[in-house]
Structure 1
Amino acid sequence: MGFWKRVLVNALIFLALAGFFPHLIYVSSIWMALGASLVLGVLNALIKPVLLILSLPITILTLGLFSVVINAIMLQLTAWFVGSGFAFSGFGASILTAVIISLVNAIVSDRFARD
């Protein structure tokens, strides 16, 4: 799946999660969701590979489960860069959002791969 499709899918996920779980994630507008999704894409391209290499021993030790924590850290960084229009209630909310985003992206990527 291409970069812009993933940005759009992530923005839709942010909006859906903000609608279903308003106590976990706050998104002020559609444009803020698109901006946060774009920032997340850029951070995933630039910072996430460095974090994955640095955390490789603990990721191997936890059989890959630490990658969920890295994804949650990336979401927290996104919220910090975007500002007050996009926020999580806590780190647990970031972890839950990271799991949901990973699952939905896997399903959508599989669907695009079949076409």
Structure 2
Amino acid sequence: MLRFLGQAVITALGLWLAARLIPGVTFTSTGSLIAAALLLGVVNALVRPVLVFLTFPITLVTFGLFLLVVNAATIGIVAWLLGGFTVAGLWPGIGTAVVTGLVSWIAGSMIGDDRPTYRAD
């Protein structure tokens, strides 16, 4: 649970930065930003694996670039479900996916991974 909340904070930071940098991405309040980060975590855990599985052939053909569209779709689902979060189209969704992905990647590299590693000796 603590890992999920930490990831939600990083996601909220990425969404906030995307709203500042990408035209067409807006939040009405800090509460909607926090709710969007939490809901995006849930959507990424439940819906995204299904979308990745269903779109695997096109992802393979596009050498993985279609995953940007899948990530934008998950952000679009969150914006559709949440009233205080707006994404105005596919390109702002893709931009938001890129920004939140970069923020998560940078934060992950700075924080590190505390999960145990297993070696086969």
Q: Contact 1:59–1:65 at 8 Å: present in 2 too?
A: yes
For residues 84-114 of structure 1, the C-alpha deviation after alignment (integer angstroms, 9 at most, x for no partner) is x100122110001101111111111111117
- Residue ranges of structure 2 left out of the alignment (5+ in a row): 115-121
Matched with 2:5 is: 4
Report which of the two structures shows the higher radius of gyration computed on alpha carbons.
Answer: 2
Matched with 2:101 is: 102
- Residue ranges of structure 1 left out of the alignment (5+ in a row): none
Q: Contact 2:17–2:99 at 8 Å: present in 1 too?
A: no
3-state DSSP class of the match of 2:64? coil
Matched with 1:61 is: 61
Mean alpha-carbon deviation: is it higher for 103-112 or for 12-21? 12-21
Q: What amino acid is the match of 1:109?
A: G
Q: Percent same amino acid among aligned pairs? A: 36
RMSD after superposition: 1.7
Q: Does 1:33 align with 2:33?
A: yes
CA distance 1:111–1:80, shift in 2 (3 Å): same
Q: How does 1:45-60 map to 2 (within 5 A)?
A: 45-60=45-60
- Using the size of structure 2 for normalisation, the TM-score is 0.86
Provide the C-alpha distance between the structure 1 equivalents of 2:72 and 2:62, rounded to a whole number of angstroms.
16
Give the C-alpha shift of residue 14 in structure 1: 1.9
How many positions carry a matched residue from both structures?
113
3-state DSSP class of the match of 1:87? strand
Give the C-alpha shift of residue 4 in structure 1: 1.0
3-state DSSP class of the match of 2:12? helix
3-state DSSP class of the match of 1:64? coil
- Using the size of structure 1 for normalisation, the TM-score is 0.90
Matched with 1:76 is: 76
3-state DSSP class of the match of 1:63? coil
For residues 22-60 of structure 1, the C-alpha deviation after alignment (integer angstroms, 9 at most, x for no partner) is x32110111110000111000010011111111111111
Q: Spell out structure 1 runs of 4+ moving beyond 6 A.
A: none
Q: What amino acid is the match of 1:91?
A: L
